[in-house]
Amino acid sequence: MRTLKLVAVSAGLSSPSSTRLLADRLLQAARYRLAEQEYAVDVEVVELRDLAVDIAHHFVTGFPSGKLQETIDTVTGADGVIAVTPVFTASYSGLFKSFFDLLDPTALTGVPVLIGATGGTARHSLVLDHALRPLFAYLRALTVPTAVYAASEDWGSGGDEYTEGLPARINRAGYEFADAVAARPAREADEDEVVPFERQLADLRLD
C-alpha cells in the first residue's frame, strides 16, 4: 500500500489559534477522503511560530538551523501541502511569507497545495486569490480549486440554503486536495540531485 505524506503549515501566532484549527480541519477532511480510497496517510503539522527566531536568523546569516532545515525538507518532501495563514493588513502574515521565501522556487513544482486563511471579517476573503494563489503559482505548485477562508462568524455556523457553510467548504476543499494528491505519481528519488552550496555549508556547521 502506498503511503502518502501530508504536511500542514500553520502561521497562527497564538495557542490555540483559529489558523491552526482550520489547518487541522482541512487535514482531517483530506485524510478521511484518502482513507476512503484505502491509502495509508502520514500527517504532520508545522507551527511556524515555533520557528520564528530560526527564520529570522536564516535571513541574517544565510544559514538555516538544523530544526529549520528539517522543516523545510519535510514540507518540500511532502506529497501534498496545506498552507494556512492569518490575515494581516489584507495579506498573508510576514511569518508565513518569510518561511516560503526560504524554499527553492522549484521545490514545490507540481505538488498539490490547499490554501486557507483566517481573519476577523469576511471582507478579507479575497486574500486567497489576490495573495496566496500568486505566491504558490510562483512556486509552481498545483493549487486546488477550492480555497477556504474562515472569518470569526464562520466558526459554529453550518450555513443556510443560500450560503455554503464552513464545514461544507472544508470538506469540499479537503476532498479536492486528497484527489489531487492521490492522482499525482509517486516521487522518485533523484540520485543526481545537486545540493546547493549553502546547504552543504549548513550541514558542515551542524556536524
- What is the model's pLDDT at position 162? 46
Model confidence at 168: pLDDT above 70: yes
Of the candidate CATH numbers 1.10.1060.10, 3.40.50.360, 3.40.50.12780, 2.30.33.40, the domain formed by 3-206 belongs to 3.40.50.360
Write out the three cell numbers for 123.
Answer: 471582507
Domain segments of the chain as ranges: 3-206
CB neighbour class for 107 (10 Å; exposed up to 12, middle 13-18, buried from 19): middle
Could you write out the DSSP letters of every residue in 19-36? HHHHHHHHHHHHHHHHHH
Q: Which is more confidently placed, 120 or 23?
A: 23
- What is the model's pLDDT at position 191? 41
What pLDDT, in 10s, does the model give residues 109-128? 999 999 999 998 888 899 99
What pLDDT, in 10s, does the model give residues 65-91? 999 999 999 999 999 999 999 999 889
Percentage of residues in the chain having pLDDT higher than 90: 75
